[in-house]
């Protein structure tokens, strides 16, 4: 198993509230684009559904597509994402959705995580295998 590390930069973020919750929370949908650097290079696009609590913290889930290069191979892959925002930083976990990618990354398997302090830059780690 190999480990990829690096950063991603959020290049666009469009978030909309689709339901206000009793007690001050809300449900939102965010469409986000990213640029990856480090061991993984390329562009990402994710749809996140978020449940904000009244105190400003949130839980989020999403599906993320990445197109680029990893481990000397080019292609695309898809990640399932879930995590928590504590009001100042987001921590998330990734799981590769097997057989959902293409090109030389079609056989990618693995999981990872990211840490995103409030702002546009995050650090990632992805443990992976390629056939």
Is the full-model pTM beyond 0.85? Answer: yes
Residue 105's Cβ-count burial label (10 Å; 0-12, 13-18, 19+) is: buried
What residue segments make up the domains of the chain, in order of their start?
Answer: 2-129
Looking at domain 2-129, which CATH architecture does it have?
Answer: Beta Barrel (2.40)
Residues 6 or more apart from 119 whose CB is under 8 A from it?
none
pLDDT for 120 equals: 85
Q: What is the pLDDT of residues 35-53, one digit of tens each?
A: 999 999 999 999 999 999 9
Q: What is the pLDDT of residue 119?
A: 77
Give how far Cα 63 sits from Cα of 19, 21, 47, 109, Å: 20, 24, 6, 15
Render pLDDT for 54-97 as a digit per residue (tens, 0 to 9): 999 999 999 999 999 999 999 999 999 999 999 999 999 999 99
Rounded CA separation 24/103 (Å): 45
Give Rg (Cα) of the chain. Answer: 15
Q: What is the pLDDT of residues 93-125, one digit of tens each?
A: 999 999 999 999 999 999 999 999 977 899 999
């Amino acid at each position: 198993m190999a480990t990829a590390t690096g950063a991603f930069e959020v290049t666009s973020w469009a978030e909309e509230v689709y339901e206000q919750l009793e007690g001050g929370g809300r449900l939102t949908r965010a469409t986000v684009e990213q640029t990856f650097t480090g061991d993984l290079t390329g562009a990402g696009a994710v749809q996140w559904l978020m449940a904000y609590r009244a105190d400003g913290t949130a839980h989020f889930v999403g599906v993320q597509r990445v197109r680029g290069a990893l481990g000397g191979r080019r292609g695309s892959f898809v990640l399932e994402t879930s995590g928590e925002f504590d009001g100042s930083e987001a921590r998330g976990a990734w799981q590769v959705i097997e057989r959902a990618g293409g090109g030389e990354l079609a056989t990618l398997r693995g999981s990872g995580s990211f840490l995103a302090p409030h702002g546009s830059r995050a650090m990632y780690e992805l443990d992976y295998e390629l056939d």
